[in-house]
Amino acid sequence: MSESPHIPVLPREVIDLLQKTENPEPLWFLDGTAGEGGHSKLILQTFPNAKLILIDRDSVMLERAKKEILSVVGSLDRVYPFQMNFSEVDNELLESLGCPGLDGALVDLGVSLFHFLHSGRGFTFKNEEPLDMRLEPQVGMKTAADVVNYSTVLHLKKVFWEYGEERWALKVANNIVQSRHKKKFETNTDLVKLVEASIPRKFWPKESHPATRIFQALRIEVNEELLHAEKGIRTIASCLKMGGVFACISFHSLEDRIVKWTFRDLKANDQFEILTKKPILPTDTEIRENRASRSAKLRGIQKIEPILKKRWEK
């Protein structure tokens, strides 16, 4: 199956935010979620003297990003790749590279289309695949099948309601528990069929598959995405130089809520300024050209001198 060329989400808007960094010669950037390398290559092209710390928790995606950067930029001399979760980035890692702090950072909380279309890990509804959903399959975490087959009905309901905002959470959870007594869930298709049977057809959403919210919830649970999101935002913000900018893209309300409230909390400590009063959304043109961008929201924050210190200096 041939793959469509990757199109990064909100490309101009991300670069516009990162260019607000106050260092006249920005040298260090971080892409905390390398994905397909789309944003990384734009950063390297926009800042031709800068170095880029390239992070992804999935080794497959990290290699794909490096390949994409190499094909466009022509070299990986300015790139420092690490397979790790962006929530693990800290000043110790920066110091090991001789980096005094980040002039700019980006985290894209979305899951790459590659995972849905080509990973074979059960993220999709289209092809029958093992019900896995791990972004780090080599780490030995629980799989989506483990969650479905061994969680209590109350835990399943909690996962589907809190992470998927699924109104049929309890019914789906009950049906899963009843069904797994006869046969354990092994593939994505097993789960899709059960969800389709659990939600009355008249309540199926018009523009998405009825299992979309259940699959989203399981993916978040398996990969602890929201936990890593808040921790990662805080740790990366702490790694910024004075005047450095942190841009964050989210794709659903749970993620955006975490970004918004974590940014607000950072601002309350007088060390950060929020650059986006409201999230930046894709234009109608971008949505037509790249359907994957339709739910994207971009927010930005900048590290500033503490207000009390400014007053003291005056």
Annotated binding-site positions for S-adenosyl-L-methionine: 37-39, 56, 86, 108, 115
Query: How would you class 221 by CB atoms within 10 Å of its CB: exposed for 0-12, middle for 13-18, buried for 19 or more?
Result: buried
Annotated binding site: 37-39, 56, 86, 108, 115
What the block records as the tokens of 82 is 């690490």
Name the DSSP class of 6: P
Amino acid at 76: L
* C-alpha to C-alpha distance for 2 and 250, rounded to whole angstroms: 27
Amino acid at 303: K
* C-alpha to C-alpha distance for 134 and 48, rounded to whole angstroms: 35
What's the alpha-carbon Rg for the chain, to the nearest Å?
21
Neighbours of 52 (CB within 10 A): 25
Contact 228, 266 (CB under 8 A): no
* C-alpha to C-alpha distance for 53 and 55, rounded to whole angstroms: 7
